[in-house]
Amino acid sequence: MKFTQLPFPTTFFLLLLLLRSITGDNSDVEYDDPQHAIALNCGFLHNSTAIDGRQWVGETDSASITSFHGPGSKSVAPSSSNDHRSQSLDPTPYMTARASQSSFTYTFHVGSGYKFIRLHFNPAASYSAFKRSTAFFTVKSGPYTLLNNFTAFLPVDSRSLKSIVKEFTLYVPDDGIPLSITFSPLKAIVPWDETFAFVNGIEVVPMPTGLYYTMEGDGNADAGAYVVGQKCRFYLGRDTAMEMAYRLNVGGIKLSSVHDPSMFREWTDDSNHIIESTVFPNISTNKIKYTKTSKDSAPQILYQSSWSMNRSLQDGEGVSFTWKLPVDSGFSLSGI
């Protein structure tokens, strides 16, 4: 496991992302508003409402915007369990799943542009006819392998998590081909007739052009995201897909998707990652006046919290903020 250390001066607040590039093709697209977002409750036929009030579509009721192919797949529900983690989850989408010992594909009829793809898993539960220990699978979308040799059960058991959400960004090209997401059991891990793939929920959410990716067609040769601690910029084009590792609200509390009704992002608090003992939280109620930065970059509440360094430090004394963030090998750093 690799740890990434980040030094920053003075009072600091930001949305922090660690992103893994996935790579794979080459139009400026306006931001779709949130009613074009799709939240699919896998394994459930009809529309339902989550505890936070968000509407999730069922596999039958969403036929005009999604389609499904997977002979032999099953709609399954968690087996009755005394596991408090599973019992405390929102029934939508975590109390049903689509599972199969062969490949299955969801197809989403969405416009071209940059999208968030979120995959929801409830591995704290057991699913009838499927062994928890044999859920090893890959997830692919177009030219991208989003997950490879993935099992949700091991990290949930080792870290006592309730659920797992894997989030990606990618570009859907304007070529008339719909967005497809395929789940395939890995047959080489355990006996081929036992491995299975499953998913509880899928979100496909449009994102603004230029939010995380480099704006195109503006004639700016210096376009791109700034690299922390360097003068150069990093270009992120539409041929790159990324996986989100961390999204932190620096100095603040955890923010749920309710705080971000346009793109339904979540931020965790960073208190378990910052290692400085001389910092204190700084909370502001000032309203943000957006100029060059889009109001869609992050919810206003995120900009109202920060860490400040202890004011007793002498002038000229070295000041830095340091976070330690465990990441899998293959991740690169991007602070946005």
| Alpha-carbon span 94 to 109, nearest angstrom | 24
Nearest to 179 by CA among 283, 105, 119: 105
| Alpha-carbon span 278 to 53, nearest angstrom | 40
pLDDT value at residue 150: 92
Would you kindly state where each structural domain of the chain is located, as residue ranges?
A: 2-18+245-335, 34-206
Nearest to 270 by CA among 307, 242, 226: 307
Q: What is the DSSP string of 147-164?
A: EEEE-SHHHHHHHT-S-E
- Residue 129 tokens, joined: 């006819």
| Alpha-carbon span 40 to 203, nearest angstrom | 6
Q: What is the DSSP string of 39-60?
A: EEETT--S-EE-TTS-EEB-TT
| Alpha-carbon span 41 to 118, nearest angstrom | 12
For range 250-263, the mean pLDDT: 91
Q: How far is CA 191 from CA 10, 74, 135, 182, in A?
A: 55, 20, 12, 21
Residue 250 has pLDDT above 60, yes or no: yes
Residue 248 has pLDDT above 90, yes or no: yes
Which residues, other chains included, contact 113 with Cβ-Cβ below 8 Å and sequence gap of 6+? 29, 30, 32, 171, 172, 206, 207, 209
CB 225 within 8 A of CB 214: yes
* 30-64 pLDDT per residue, tens: 344 555 899 999 999 999 999 999 999 999 988 88
**What is the CA 262 to chain-centroid distance, rounded?**
15
Confidence (pTM): 0.84
For residue 277, give the 3-state DSSP assignment: coil
Q: Where are the alpha helices (DSSP H) in the chain?
A: 84-87, 91-94, 153-159
10-14, 28-32, 319-323: least confidently modelled range: 10-14
Q: For the domain 34-206, what is the CATH superfamily, name and number?
A: Galactose-binding lectin (2.60.120.430)
* 55-94 pLDDT per residue, tens: 999 999 888 899 999 988 999 998 755 455 566 789 999 9
- Residue 185 tokens, joined: 């059991």
The amino acid sitting at 4 is T
Which residue do the tokens 């339902």 mark?
Answer: 48
